[in-house]
Amino acid sequence: MIIQPIIDLVAICARKGIKNVILSPGSRCAPISIAFARHPEIHCRSISDERSAAFVALGIAQQLKKPVVLVCTSGTAALNYAPAIAEAYFQQIPLIVITADRPPEWIDQWDGQTIRQKNIYGRHVKDDFDFPDDFSHKDKVWHAHRITNEAINTASDYPKGPVHINIPLREPFYPEQQEQFDYSHPIPIIDKLGNAPILSNESIAQLANNLGRFHRILIVPGQQSPDEHTLALLNLLAKKQKVVVVSDTISNMQSEETVTFHDQLLPISEHALLAPDLVISFGKSIISKPLKNFLRSSGADHWHIQPAGYSPDTYQGLNKIIHTSPTAFLELLIQSNISSDLDFYNRWHESDKKIKTALQQGLEKADFGEWKAIYHVLQQLPQQSKLHLANSMAVRYVNFLGARPQEIICNRGTSGIDGSNSTAVGCALTTKEYVTLITGDMAFFYDRNAFWHNYTVNNLRIILLNNHAGGIFRIINGPSQQPELEEFFETKQQLNAENLAKDFDFDYTPVKTENELNDGLTVFYSPSIRPKIIEVFSDSAKNTAILSRVKAALKEFMDI
């Protein structure tokens, strides 16, 4: 018999708009899994590997902007959710994480699949809830209903994020053969309504007055989903030459009006000529280390815009946190009488254009390797599609190459390589558009269980950069100068994706030359009944040399 409060938990989820659930098989979680699977309005998928399952859920929630439920059994299954939960926390993605548990009297009694699950995710969830283990009193049922409502509301509040519900369960776990589930009886639903804070007239007047002190304003959007209205406001500000907008690829705020080649520009430029007196930021993290270092040393004031929550002092100059929406603040900027330094604006934009020209010339002449491969792939990428980037070099290469029209997605909350494949799979399950994942071999093989499921992702396209090592360590000064580089940092490996493609029924194309890649790309985005992989083989040391030569050519070009 499945206890009614578990059925009510599922009913509350459905009534509050949750439609997607990722289940991982187990016995202790059976009452929860069955209750979700039998609800007619909820779409359940089964992913056996809990680490992959959590990243698939993250990929779905990332796209839908709504909570996705995860359900697993007791014990170490719950620990395997942890990497994705940390990523969701720092990326502000809503997940409802439900873990089955032993009853409290059996914890620490050497019972099977039993660990200490209370507060298991620590400070990487917005809140942690312990479901009642007994429902003999009506207040216990009320408590269960309240926990479910509160958990969903908390996950959905700004900043969104994961929450954890730990549910102790006793046998029996499975319903009787003719048992009926009642999802329709009256249960309390607690809805929470609200908008981003609106600045008072007094605050607006104070900000307008403060803005008059600044003439070199730099806007730096952080990681976020695309937003046409926000981008239009940034473009208008830039066109009016009121501000300079410097945008990483993960900001999804790049355009012809924004500076996008800062990764190459800042290491070879005269910083004093580009230094702002005010930095305005919104969104989350940025990729570019040169940009971070430049802002930290600039001495500029820093204002961060967000509706609520804590704000990190990323650039070591934070002196104003403004709790409103970015669009409301940008509209205020448009209406304000900013006296901008046109030389400041022109220096940034002229330098950006020179880098763009020089980079294109340099890459056309460069030997074939990872960077040039990505350059060609991006030229063939359908405009209406989504681009997932693995961490380490893949996201950096794309950031080097300037503005993209596609939505860019990358796990930069914790910047780990775990879960890149699974997050892309989750994304592909939400759309009919092509989803392209550009990844290195270490990240790809680390998350191979992303494809161990029974769901169709024939819109998934993977560009696998296989240099048989972790190439990023060759461009970091510390490890690149150590005798242990190849064995203990790059972690040499000899795998390729051919057998994986056979195991999971992917179309597979290996390439070693520029011509082979271009031939492969001619059919890469044609419709298919199965996903496709192009595996680009290259040499790690040669890739580093190409990168160094192109960067040296850029410096020479800028010095002319």
On whether both 508 and 549 belong to a single domain, the answer is yes
Same domain, yes or no: 338 and 377: no
Walk along the chain (560 residues) and give the pLDDT tens digit of each residue.
Answer: 689 999 999 999 999 999 999 999 999 999 999 999 999 999 999 999 999 999 999 999 999 999 999 999 999 999 999 999 999 999 999 999 999 999 999 999 998 899 999 999 999 999 999 999 999 999 999 999 999 999 999 999 999 999 999 999 998 888 888 888 999 999 999 998 877 788 999 999 999 999 999 999 999 999 999 999 999 999 999 999 999 999 999 999 999 999 999 999 999 888 999 999 999 999 999 999 999 999 999 999 999 999 998 999 999 999 999 999 999 999 999 999 888 899 999 999 999 999 999 998 888 889 999 999 999 999 999 999 999 999 989 999 999 999 899 999 999 999 999 999 999 999 999 999 999 999 999 999 999 999 999 999 999 999 999 998 755 655 556 666 666 666 556 667 789 999 999 999 999 999 999 999 999 999 999 999 999 999 999 998 888 888 888 888 887 777 65
> Is 488 a domain residue?
yes
316 plus 371 within the same structural domain: no
List, in order, residues 6 or more apart from 527 with CB less than 8 Å away: none
Residues 270 and 228 both lie in one domain: yes
Task: For residue 342, count CB atoms less than 10 angstroms from its CB and return exposed for 0-12, middle for 13-18, buried for 19 or more.
Answer: exposed
Query: What's this model's pTM, rounded to 2 decimal places?
Result: 0.94
Tell me if residue 22 falls in helix, strand or coil.
strand
Output the domain CATH number for residue 215: 3.40.50.1220
Give the angle subtended at the CA of 276 by the CAs of 274 and 277, to the nearest 5°: 150
- The pLDDT, as a whole number, for residue 2 is 83
| Tens digits of residue pLDDT in 309-340 | 899 999 999 999 999 999 999 999 999 988 88
Of 297, 326, 342, which residue constitutes the final position of a domain? Answer: 342
Backbone angles phi, psi at 151, to 5 degrees: -65, -45
Shared-domain flag, residues 316 and 381? no
**Structural domain boundaries, residue 427:** 366-559
Indicate whether 352 belongs to any domain. no
Q: Which pLDDT tens digit goes with each residue over 81-119?
A: 999 999 999 999 999 999 999 999 999 999 889 999 999
Cα 66 to Cα 14: distance, rounded to the nearest angstrom: 12
The secondary structure of 236-273 as a DSSP string is HHHHTTS-EEB--GGGT---TTSB--HHHHGGGS-HHH
Q: Are residue 462 and residue 527 in the same domain, yes or no? A: yes
Q: Which two tokens stand for residue 301?
A: 């004031």
Same domain, 450 and 552: yes
Q: Residues 312, 380: one domain?
A: no
373 and 522 co-located in one domain: yes
Q: Is 147 helix (H, G, I), strand (E, B) or coil?
A: helix
Distance CA 352, CA 258 (A): 9
Could you tell me how many residues make up the chain?
560
Same domain? 257 vs 399:
no
**C-alpha to C-alpha distance for 45 and 22, rounded to whole angstroms:** 5
Total number of domains constituting the chain:
3
Q: Is residue 351 included in any domain, yes or no?
A: no
Spatial separation of the C-alpha atoms in residues 149 and 296, rounded to whole Å: 42
How far is C-alpha 225 from the chain's CA centre?
A: 9
**Cβ neighbours of 373 (radius 10 Å):** 24
> Does 185 map to a domain?
no
459 within domain boundaries? yes
- For 539, other C-beta atoms within 10 Å of its C-beta total 15
Q: Is residue 74 part of a domain?
A: yes
Domain membership of residue 188 (yes or no) is no
The helix/strand/coil state of 508 is strand
Instruction: Give the CATH number for residue 438.
Output: 3.40.50.970
Residue 191, in any domain of the structure: no
Phi, psi angles (nearest 5°) of residue 440: -90, 170
Q: What's the distance, CA 328 to chain centroid?
A: 25
Q: Are residues 375 and 265 in the same domain?
A: no
pLDDT for 486 equals: 63
Element (H, E) at 346: helix 342-365
Q: Are residues 123 and 13 located together in one domain of the fold?
A: yes
Contact yes or no for 67/161 (Cβ under 8 A): no
